[in-house]
Amino acid sequence: MWNDLASFALDSRLNEWIAATYWLWPVLEILHFIGLSLLFGGLLIVDLRMLGWFASLQQLRVNKLLPLVICGFAINLITGVLFYFGDPARYSANIAFKIKMGLILLAGCNALFHHVLLVRSARDQTEVLSQPFQKISAAISLLAWLGVLLFGRLIPYIGTG
């Protein structure tokens, strides 16, 4: 799967453009960091609140950070795809990248579970209920995104052959 995707990306005009534009990679790095700050910064507050921290803050007010989280994820999705298209062979062979992708998938499934099963069941109430499943979901979210951060940072250093 990774080899096929790498071949597709390597033969694309997007790869040519990224490789030929010397200033693009540093700009993508900056945007990726901004997206990460929005994503992880917002989720840190939201998830810690669900775990019982910051009890003086209402959950519904904390949830107003979620549009920033989604914006950060969108920025990182776009820049991440461009990174991949810029150097597909390196990323496809990198174990840290593959683990990062797995953790993003886990975090996405966890967010879907949280939204569909937990948030919808609490819509009629002013405060999201403090259920064990919500705390587990918040802990999984924090751990998954911490792992994404860690393995993303390790991509240049491990598993490149």
Dump pLDDT digits (tens) for 72-126.
999 999 999 999 998 888 888 899 999 999 999 999 999 888 777 655 555 545 4
Q: Look at residues 73, 70, 94, 88 and name the one whose alpha carbon lies nearest to residue 151.
A: 94
pLDDT at residue 125 in the model: 52
Categorize the per-residue pLDDT at 137 as very low, low, confident or very high, splitting at 50, 70 and 90. confident
Quick one: tokens of 108? 């996405």
d(CA 50, CA 135): 6
Using one digit for the tens of pLDDT, what is the confidence trace for 34-86? 999 999 999 988 888 888 887 777 777 777 888 899 999 999 999 999 999 98
Burial 80-109 (b: 16+ CB within 10 A, else e): bebbbbbbbebbbebebbebbbebbebbee
pLDDT at residue 130 in the model: 52
pLDDT at residue 24 in the model: 93
pLDDT at residue 26 in the model: 93
Which segment of 1-10, 13-22, 45-54 scores lowest on mean pLDDT? Answer: 1-10
Q: Please name the residue ranges forming H helices in 12-158.
A: 13-20, 24-50, 59-62, 66-86, 88-92, 95-113, 132-154
Assess contact for 13 and 91: CB atoms under 8 A.
no
Phi-psi region of 52 (alpha: psi -120 to 50; beta: other; left: phi over 0): left
The Cα angle at residue 53 between residues 47 and 59, in degrees rounded to 5: 60
d(CA 153, CA 161): 17
Domain segments of the chain as ranges: 2-154
pLDDT at residue 160 in the model: 65
pLDDT at residue 145 in the model: 94
DSSP letter, residue 114 = I
Assess contact for 155 and 97: CB atoms under 8 A.
yes
pLDDT at residue 58 in the model: 75
Assess contact for 106 and 140: CB atoms under 8 A.
yes
